[in-house]
Amino acid sequence: MSITPAVKTILEKYESDNPGVKAKLAQMLMHGRLGGTGKLVILPVDQGFEHGPARSFAINPPAYDPHYHYQLAIDAGLNAYAAPLGMIEAGADTFAGQIPTILKLNSSNSWATTKDQALTGSVEDALRLGCAAIGFTIYPGSDHFFELVEEIKELRAEAESVGIATVIWSYPRGGELTKEGELALDVGAYAAHMAALIGAHIIKVKLPTDHIEQKEARKAYEGADWSKQSDRVAHVVKCCFDGRRIVIFSGGAAKGEDQVFQDARDIRDGGGFGSIIGRNTFQRPRDEALAMLDKIIAIYKGEA
Amino acid sequence: MSITPAVKTILEKYESDNPGVKAKLAQMLMHGRLGGTGKLVILPVDQGFEHGPARSFAINPPAYDPHYHYQLAIDAGLNAYAAPLGMIEAGADTFAGQIPTILKLNSSNSWATTKDQALTGSVEDALRLGCAAIGFTIYPGSDHFFELVEEIKELRAEAESVGIATVIWSYPRGGELTKEGELALDVGAYAAHMAALIGAHIIKVKLPTDHIEQKEARKAYEGADWSKQSDRVAHVVKCCFDGRRIVIFSGGAAKGEDQVFQDARDIRDGGGFGSIIGRNTFQRPRDEALAMLDKIIAIYKGEA
Amino acid sequence: MSITPAVKTILEKYESDNPGVKAKLAQMLMHGRLGGTGKLVILPVDQGFEHGPARSFAINPPAYDPHYHYQLAIDAGLNAYAAPLGMIEAGADTFAGQIPTILKLNSSNSWATTKDQALTGSVEDALRLGCAAIGFTIYPGSDHFFELVEEIKELRAEAESVGIATVIWSYPRGGELTKEGELALDVGAYAAHMAALIGAHIIKVKLPTDHIEQKEARKAYEGADWSKQSDRVAHVVKCCFDGRRIVIFSGGAAKGEDQVFQDARDIRDGGGFGSIIGRNTFQRPRDEALAMLDKIIAIYKGEA
Amino acid sequence: MSITPAVKTILEKYESDNPGVKAKLAQMLMHGRLGGTGKLVILPVDQGFEHGPARSFAINPPAYDPHYHYQLAIDAGLNAYAAPLGMIEAGADTFAGQIPTILKLNSSNSWATTKDQALTGSVEDALRLGCAAIGFTIYPGSDHFFELVEEIKELRAEAESVGIATVIWSYPRGGELTKEGELALDVGAYAAHMAALIGAHIIKVKLPTDHIEQKEARKAYEGADWSKQSDRVAHVVKCCFDGRRIVIFSGGAAKGEDQVFQDARDIRDGGGFGSIIGRNTFQRPRDEALAMLDKIIAIYKGEA
Amino acid sequence: MSITPAVKTILEKYESDNPGVKAKLAQMLMHGRLGGTGKLVILPVDQGFEHGPARSFAINPPAYDPHYHYQLAIDAGLNAYAAPLGMIEAGADTFAGQIPTILKLNSSNSWATTKDQALTGSVEDALRLGCAAIGFTIYPGSDHFFELVEEIKELRAEAESVGIATVIWSYPRGGELTKEGELALDVGAYAAHMAALIGAHIIKVKLPTDHIEQKEARKAYEGADWSKQSDRVAHVVKCCFDGRRIVIFSGGAAKGEDQVFQDARDIRDGGGFGSIIGRNTFQRPRDEALAMLDKIIAIYKGEA
C-alpha cells in the first residue's frame, strides 16, 4: 500500500512522532472508502457504558451484539471502529485485520457522581487486541481535569513507546461552565487546543455553536461573523496548531438525516478531517445506517 | 476430559481470552453434577465478612467451620465454591483438587461508612491456593465506583496474564439510586452490561424486579411486558453482549424453598447460566441444604 | 526441639501456610514456661506510643529503659515480647535469641485526630531484627478500616513470603459504634472473625462484655445465656474458624490482681489460647509483676 | 565554542551540579545575540494553555502556528524558547539544533477550580525532543504548594540525572495571599528564595512592586527605600543565594513599548540575569516584535 | 582517628544500627571543638524556607550567602551544619570534608495552609552531597502526623541501608494542642519519645516549659517539682529510652546572650547531648556569633 500525497502531507506534520505511531495513523487514514483522501469517518460505540444498554440498543436490538458494530463499520467502509474493552474483546478475533480499532480506555456512566471517568483498559490491552489507537476522554473545566490530563499523559507516552496512536475526546463540562457554555465556540476551540497541547494525534470535539462563553474571550471573537458552522469548524481546526493535527467532530444525539448530512458538509467545508458518528448510525436499522454512511462518505469525497 | 459441545459453544464466545483463562472456565463448567451442561451452581460464603459470624452461622453452628462449606459444595456436586481469603486458606489443602474455588478479592462489612470494599486478597493468593477464578464486587452508582472499576481492571489484567478467570459481582448501590432502584430491571441490566464491558468472564447480578428506575430509560422499556421473571432474566442476558458472557443470578436473603426453586426455573427459562446460592443453603441444616441443591440441579438439567 | 502434640495439632490447622511461617508460630508456642502447652502469654509494650512515656512508665521508672521489658519477658518465661520499632531495636542485639519478638508495625497516639494508625516499621525491619512475627492493629468500624485492611493485606503477604507470622490486634472503634459497643460480644466476635478472614495467624481481641450492640445481630444471640465470661471467650474462639486460629485476649487497663487471674481462668476455660498483658505487668514493681505472671502461667497450666 | 569568562563565572556557582547540567546552562547562556554576556532573553509560549488560543493568538493570527514561535525566537537571536509538550513537538524536528528549548512540564488553564497545575510532559519527553531544560511552575501560598514542590523535587532529580537543567516559574498565589500581595516585594523575594532552596537552576519570577505584604516581614524591609525597580530586582537576586543562581523576570500582560524597555533596563541595572517575554512579543506583528527584541537585547548589552 | 570512650559509650547504645550509620554518628560526635566529649553543637539554617529570606538574613546581610553559614560553622568548631537542599548544594563542593552536613529533607513555610511539610530532598541527594545525616521534621498532634511518620519511616530505612544517620525534629503542633501546650513538658517528652520509637538516631526538640498540657498525664507528673529547666531536660532524655538516644535542644527565637548560655548549662546539667542553635548565631554579627559559640562550647566542656 503506498500512501497518497494527501495522507503524506498530514503525516509530515506529526514531526516528533515515531514511525510506529505514524504507521498507525496511516493505517486509519488509508483504510475504507475514504482511504487516501485525508478524511475519516469513525464508528464509536461507547453508549452502552455511558447511557446503559437498553437506552442504546433497544431501538435496534441486533446492536446488543458486539459483532453487529464491527460488521457495520466494515460493511460501511469506515476508517475505524472505537469501543471500550469488553466490546472490542468480544469481536477482536473474529474481525482481526478487517478494520482498524480504537480501544477507548476510560468511560463514565449515567450514575457518576463526579465529572470524571474510570480507566477500563490499558495500552497492553490495545497491543494484545491489535488496536491502531487508544481513545481517552478529558473533561476540561471539571474538578477532575488535572487528574485526567495526568492519566492521559502517562498513557500517551506508553502508547507512543509501543507505536500506538492517541485519540482524545475533549468534552468541556463541570466546574463553572454553563450547560450552554459546554458547546460554545470559544470553549470548544480551547478544549481542542488543550488536547493538542497534551499531545493528541487525533482530536475529537463536538460541533460548536456560535455562543461565546468566556467574558475574557469576547474581545478575541468580536468583529467576526460566527454564524456559519463551517467557519466555526475552521476556527477549531486553526486552534489545533493551525491545522497540524487531525480534528474530527461528533454530532451528538440522534437527529434527522438532513442535519447529519449538513454537519458533514460543514465539517468538510471548514477543513475538518471527518466525523465520528455513533448513535446516528447504530440506532437506525442497519440498511438505513448503511445508506446514511454511504452519503456521508460521498460528501467527504466531495460527491454530495 | 473432553469438553461437551454445550461448553465448547460458550468458550468460543470468549474469543480474546487466552487458553489459560478458557481452561479455568472449562474447569468450572465441566465440574460437578451440572458439568458439561453449560449451567452452573456456585456456593458463595462471604456472609461472615458482610454480616458477621453469628448472624451468618449461629442458625446452623457447624457452618462456623470453613471445612463445612467445602464439604457441602463437594457433596452437593456444585461447580465451584467462592469465599474470602481466610475461608479459602482454611481448607485449601484438605480439599485440594476436589472443587474449583473462586477467591473473593474484596469485601465490605456491616459497619462500613462508605459504599466501598476493601481488598483482602490478591491474584498471587489465587495462584498459590490453586483457585480457578478471582471474584470482585463493584458497586455501580456508588461514589467509589470509579475506584472499584480501576482496581478490578488491574486485577483482571493480572489474573488473565496467569490464566485465572474473573467473576464480577455487580451490585448497584449508593449515589442517587433508591433502595427500590437497586433491584430495578433497567439498573440490573445496566450493571451487568458494565461488568461485561470491563471484561468480566462471569457476571453475577441479583434477580431484578419489574421496576424501571431511570426516567431516561423508561422509553426503552415501555411497550413490553416485564412481569415474567424469566423475561427479565432474558433481558439481562441480552445486555451481556447478547449472551456472549456467562451471567449467573443470586437470590438474596434466605427464603422459602418454593421461591428458590421458582427462581432457578426462571433463570433457566430465561437463558441464564445458573445460580449462586449461599444463605439459602448454609443457613439450613445440611440435609435440607443437600436436598434443595439436588432439586436445583435437577431444575437446571430440565428434570424438575 | 521436638514439637509437642498440642502444638502440632494447632499448627496443622494452618494448612495453607508455608513451613517458614509455621516454624515461627512453633517458635512462639514452644518458648518459655508455657512452651508446648498450646497456650501463650505475651508481653506487649506499645503504651509509650499510645499514651506517652510518663503515663506509661513514671509509676515504675525502670520501665523507661527498653531493656527492662526484654528482661521482664525473659525472666517471667513468657512466649514472646511485642513492641514498636524503636523499642525492639534498642535491645534486639543484647537479647538476641533469648525471646521471640513481635514487631508492631503500626501505632496511634493520644493526639490522633482520626481513628487510624501510622506505619512505623516494615517486614524488612522484622527480618533484620530477627522477629518471629509482625503485629498490626485494625479498627473495624472506623472510616479508615478499609485502608488498614489493605495495608495489612500487603504486609501479611510480604511477611508470609519471608516466613514471618502475622498477629492482628482487632479493636472495633469509630464510625457508628458506641463506646459500650466497642466491647460488645457481637462486635468483638465479628472483629475477631474479620481478622481471621484477612489471614491473621494470631488474633488479639479484648475480652468482651455481654452487651449485644447490633440490632440485626440480636436474634442470633437471643435464647442463650452470655453472662459467663468463659462462654463469651468460647464464642469468640468459635468465630475464628471454629478454633482453627490462635486467639489471645487482652485485659485492658491496669486492674486488681484477682480480676487479672479470673480473666486468665476464663480465657483458659473458654478455650482461648492465652493472654497478652502489658500495663498490668510493667506498671507494677518488677517483683510483683513476676509473681503475677508466675501465677497466670500456673493458671494456663491448670495448676491454679 | 569556548565559554566566555562571564559565563564561566556563573557556571562555577553551580558547584554541586554535574557537567551535563552545566553544559545545558552553557548552551543557553552561549546561544543567540546575548551569547556569552551572562544575560538571557527567553521566549515563552504557554498562553494558549493558560488563556486559550483565541485570547492568545487572534490578535496576531500567524501565531496560531507553532512554527511561528520557533522562527521568531531564532530570528530575534534569543537564548531559548519555552513551551508545553504539543507546541515543542510540533516544531522540534524542523528546528532541531537551531535554538535551545525548555519543555514546560506543567500547565494550568482558565477554568481551573484549584490553584494547581497538571503535569503534561516528562523528563523523557525533554530527552527525546532534545530540550536543554525542563520548566515547572510552583504556586507558593497555594493549598497545593507542597504537592507541587514534591513533584518538581522528583522531576528535578530525574532531569539532573540525565543532564537536563531545571527552570522554575515561582508564582505566589492562593491561600491567604491577597491579589496585591502576589506581586509584593517580600512575597516575590520569598518565592524566589524557595525556588532556589528546592534546587532551581534558573528562577523565573515577576517584577515585584514596592508593596510589603507580610506583617512579620515589615521590620526587615523598613528603613530602606524600595521605590526604585532596579533596587527591588537587586533584592530578589540577593535572595537567590546572593546572586549564585540565575534569576530572570517576566513582565506580565502586554503593555507599552516604553515600559517594556524600562523593565529591561531595571533588570539589568539591578543585576538580574534577563527577561522572559511572551505576550509582549507574539501578540505584536512580527516586525514590531523583532524590533522590540532587538532593542531589549541592546539594553542588556548596555547599548541602549 | 580513634573514638573516645565517651563517644564509644554512646555508639554502643545504637545496638541495631549498622556500622555505616554508626560511623556517621561518630563523624559528628568526633568533629569540631567538642569532638570526643559526647556533646554536640549544630548550626541549622532553614529559616529562609520557614520565614523567608529577608526576615532571616536582612539583619545580617552577609548571611544571604550560603557560604557564610558553612564558614561560620567551620570557624566556630561546631559538630555539624544542617540546611535544605539548595543551601547545602551551594557550598558542598567548596567546603567538602570541612564539616559534617545534615541534609534537611522536608520544609514548611510561612504561607502553609496545613500543619505539614513538603519533601525537598532525598537520600540520594544526601549521598551525592556527602552528608552525614538526613534531617526530617514531624509534627506530633497535626492532622498530617501519620503521613509524616510514614514518610520518615521510608526515608530512615533507605538512609540506614546506605549508612546515613537520621535526625528527627519533633515539633508538636496542630490538632487539639494549644499554643502553650506545644511547649509543655509532657508534650515535649511525648514528642521526643515518639521520635525515638520511629527510629531517630538524633532527636531534636525544643526546651520545654513546666506546663503540663494533657489532663490524663497530670497524675504522672504531680508530686515532683518541674521548675528547674535542667530537671525538665533530664526528663526528656529519660523519655528517649532512658538516655539511649542522643537528644539535642533548640532555643527558639533570637534572645539575650545570658539566656542562651543558661539554656546550654541547663541542657548540660540535665544530661542533654547538646544544642542546635540557628537564629541566635547567624542573626548576630559574625564576631558576636563566634564569641557566643565559643562560650557555649566552653559550657559544654564544663569550663564556663
Q: How many CB pairs under 8 A join C and E?
A: 117
- B223 — phi, psi (to 5°)? 90, -10
Question: Smallest Cα–Cα separation from B112: which of C141, D87, D155?
Answer: C141
| Residue A246 near chain D (CB below 8 Å) | no
**What pLDDT sits at residue A200?**
98
Burial of C8 (0-12, 13-18, 19+ CB in 10 A): middle
**What pLDDT sits at residue C24?**
98
**A123, pLDDT greater than 80:** yes
Average pLDDT, chain B: 96
Return d(Cα D237, Cα D231) in angstroms, integer.
10
**D254, pLDDT greater than 80:** no
ipTM of the complex, rounded to two decimals: 0.96
Tens digits of residue pLDDT in B27-49? 999 999 999 999 999 999 999 99
Which residues 159-188 of chain E have a CB within 8 Å of chain C? 172, 175-177, 186
Tens digits of residue pLDDT in A2-35? 899 999 999 999 999 999 999 999 999 999 999 9
Residues 6+ positions from E250 with CB-CB distance below 8 Å: E44, E204, E205, E206, E207, E275, E276, E277, E278
CB E6 within 8 A of CB E36: yes
Return d(Cα D200, Cα D202) in angstroms, integer.
5
C-alpha cell at A234: 475552521
**What pLDDT sits at residue D252?**
65
Query: Average pLDDT of A191-204?
Result: 98
Residue D28: alpha-carbon gap to chain centroid: 12
For residue D275, give the amino acid letter.
S
Query: Average pLDDT of E245-254?
Result: 86
**What pLDDT sits at residue B252?**
65
Strand partners, E83: E103
| Residue B222 near chain A (CB below 8 Å) | no
**D8, pLDDT greater than 80:** yes
Residues 6+ positions from E129 with CB-CB distance below 8 Å: D16, E88, E89, E92, E101, E103
Could you please report the per-residue DSSP string of A246-280? EEEEE--S---HHHHHHHHHHHHHTT--EEE--HH
**B251, pLDDT greater than 80:** no
Tens digits of residue pLDDT in B54-95? 999 999 999 999 999 999 999 999 999 999 999 999 999 999
C-alpha cell at A91: 469481536
CB E54 within 8 A of CB D194: no
3-state SS class at B47: helix
CB D66 within 8 A of CB D300: no
**E253, pLDDT greater than 70:** no
Could you please report the per-residue DSSP string of D283-302? TS-HHHHHHHHHHHHHHHTT
Return d(Cα A195, Cα A245) in angstroms, integer.
10
E-chain CB neighbours of D242 within 8 Å are 64-66
3-state SS class at B297: helix
CB E119 within 8 A of CB E158: no
pLDDT category at E254 given cuts 50, 70, 90 is low
Return d(Cα E267, Cα E237) in angstroms, integer.
10
A-chain CB neighbours of B247 within 8 Å are none
Return d(Cα D101, Cα D124) in angstroms, integer.
14
Cα–Cα distance list, D73 to D77, D258, D289, D293, D294 (Å): 6, 21, 10, 9, 11
Tens digits of residue pLDDT in D281-298? 999 999 999 999 999 999
C-alpha cell at E157: 530505612
Question: Smallest Cα–Cα separation from D192: which of E49, E88, E114?
Answer: E49
Cα–Cα distance list, C233 to A166, B66, C217, E37 (Å): 61, 19, 18, 57
High-pLDDT (> 90) share of chain B, %: 97
Tens digits of residue pLDDT in E16-50? 999 999 999 999 999 999 999 999 999 999 999 99
Counting Cα atoms < 13 Å in the Cβ hemisphere of D193 gives 30
Beta-carbon separation of D58 and A220 below 8 A: yes
pLDDT category at B253 given cuts 50, 70, 90 is low
Q: Which helix (H) or strand (E) holds D204?
A: strand D202-206
pLDDT category at C251 given cuts 50, 70, 90 is confident
The residue assigned the cell 513582565 is D251
pLDDT category at A253 given cuts 50, 70, 90 is low
CB B221 within 8 A of CB B190: no
Question: Smallest Cα–Cα separation from D190: which of E47, E61, E69?
Answer: E47
B-chain CB neighbours of C216 within 8 Å are 51, 55, 110
Could you please report the per-residue DSSP string of chain D? -PPPHHHHHHHHT-TTS-HHHHHHHHHHHTSSTTTTTT-EEEEE--HHHHH-HHHHHTTSGGGGSHHHHHHHHHHHT-SEEEEEHHHHHTTTTTTTTTS-EEEE-EE--TT-SSS--EE---HHHHHHTT-SEEEEEE-TTSTTHHHHHHHHHHHHHHHHHTT-EEEEEE---STT--TTGGG-HHHHHHHHHHHHHTT-SEEEEEPP-S----GGGHHHHTTS---SHHHHHHHHHHTTTTTTSEEEEE--S---HHHHHHHHHHHHHTT--EEE--HHHHTS-HHHHHHHHHHHHHHHTT--
**pTM listed for this prediction:** 0.96
Q: Assess whether chains D and E touch, using the rule of 3 or more C-beta pairs within 8 angstroms.
A: yes
Chains that touch C (3 or more CB pairs under 8 A): B, E
Does E204 participate in catalysis according to the annotation? yes
Return d(Cα A32, Cα E210) in angstroms, integer.
84
Average pLDDT, chain D: 96
Nearest Cα of chain C lies from the Cα of B62 at a distance, in angstroms, of 9
CB C150 within 8 A of CB E180: no
CB E201 within 8 A of CB E245: yes
Return d(Cα E87, Cα D278) in angstroms, integer.
31
| DSSP assignment letter at E294 | H
| DSSP assignment letter at D182 | G
Beta-carbon separation of E146 and C116 below 8 A: yes
Q: For chain A, how many residues are written? A: 304
C-chain CB neighbours of B65 within 8 Å are 241-242, 244
> Could you give the angle at the alpha carbon of E175 between the alpha carbons of E172 and E177, nearest 5°?
55
Tens digits of residue pLDDT in C29-69? 999 999 999 999 999 999 999 999 999 999 999 999 999 99
Q: For an interface test with C, give the residue of E197, E215, E219 to mutate (most C CBs within 10 A).
A: E197
CB C100 within 8 A of CB C125: no
Residues of C noted as catalytic: 204
| Residue with more model confidence, A254 or A6 | A6
Average pLDDT, chain A: 96
Query: Average pLDDT of C113-134?
Result: 97
Return d(Cα B206, Cα B217) in angstroms, integer.
19
Query: Average pLDDT of D49-68?
Result: 97
C-alpha cell at C160: 508470609
Cα–Cα distance list, C171 to B258, D102, E97 (Å): 42, 54, 52
> Could you give the angle at the alpha carbon of B231 between the alpha carbons of B226 and B233, nearest 5°?
115
**B1, pLDDT greater than 70:** no
Return d(Cα A102, Cα A25) in angstroms, integer.
11
Average pLDDT, chain E: 96
Of residues E16, E172, E197, nearest to C84 (C-beta): E197
**What pLDDT sits at residue D64?**
98
CB E278 within 8 A of CB E45: yes
C-alpha cell at A84: 471500550
**What pLDDT sits at residue E223?**
92
Question: Smallest Cα–Cα separation from A101: which of A77, A124, A135?
Answer: A135
Average pLDDT, chain C: 96
Return d(Cα B157, Cα D232) in angstroms, integer.
58
C-alpha cell at B126: 489465587
| Residue E121 near chain D (CB below 8 Å) | yes
For residue E61, give the amino acid letter.
P
Return d(Cα E98, Cα E17) in angstroms, integer.
25
